[in-house]
Amino acid sequence: MAGQVDVLRELDRLRVEIEALRASRKRLVVAADGDRRSIERDLHDGVHQLFVALAVNLQLLRQAVASDPEAAGRLVEEMVRDVQRGLDETVLLAQRIYPPMLEAGGLAALLRSAAVDAGVPASVEVAAGPDHPPEVDMTVYLSWLATLARASPETRVTISVREGQDTLAFEVIGPAAGSDGDLGRVRDRVEALGGQLTIRSERDGRTCASGSLPLS
């Protein structure tokens, strides 16, 4: 009788774990679709609008070249600025989709670069080698981006990464955040890779996300 009870308990535990896994996978799919929508909006509202402005200015430039050289010069200067903005926004979008530094094992440089681009004071400490699976480094990078997105030039954020025998551990501290949102999606990704992520509130009101990811 006791054996049957143990079996039933084990079956119940397995059912709960399976349902949790299904829910986690669904959240990952929903999060991926959300990321795609966000990138589409940024492309439409950013780079696309810059190209529209360039097309309009080219038409005006064609008309002004002969009749109003001074106005033509101002249009050229404006177009140069628009082109530079378009290049900058394209680089940022590419970094969000998949930063090329990950392939070169440049996690520390990538984390520092992201903080500079966000204009946020940051402390980055990486005590780990360069040879990690790309999906592991990408997960650490996404947790950093989620924290930088909540920060401002007046707030300081920190990240530390250290390598164990079979795991890569990281800790990110920044402005207050709930367990949902970007950090919640990061936790789903961490768990899908067989790791763990804990999100907790510090005494000073900031949020600390600490996680570990298997390297094999």
Calpha distance 71→62 (Å, rounded): 11
Residues constituting the chain: 216
Calpha distance 142→211 (Å, rounded): 12
Q: Give domain limits for the chain.
A: 1-97, 105-214
pLDDT at 23: 73
pLDDT at 37: 72
CATH superfamily of this structure's domain 105-214: Histidine kinase-like ATPase, C-terminal domain (3.30.565.10)
- CA angle, 54 then 60 then 63, to 5°: 145
pLDDT at 1: 60
| Global confidence as pTM | 0.67
pLDDT at 3: 66
pLDDT at 177: 77
CA-based radius of gyration for the chain: 23
pLDDT along the chain (216 residues), means of 10: 70 79 69 69 77 81 80 84 80 72 77 88 88 87 89 90 92 80 81 89 88 90
Q: Which of 102, 103, 104 is nearest to 144 (CA)?
A: 102
Beta-sheet strand order (sheet of 122-127): 122-127, 157-163, 167-174, 207-214, 196-201
Reading the block at residue 125, the tokens are 């400490």
CA 195 to chain centre: 18
Q: CA–CA distance from 33 to each of 38, 83, 116, 212 (Å)?
A: 9, 29, 27, 25
pLDDT at 32: 67
Number of CB atoms found within 10 A of residue 21's CB: 12
- Check: CB of residue 164 under 8 Å from CB of residue 129: no
Q: CA–CA distance from 188 to each of 25, 45, 95, 122 (Å)?
A: 8, 29, 21, 25
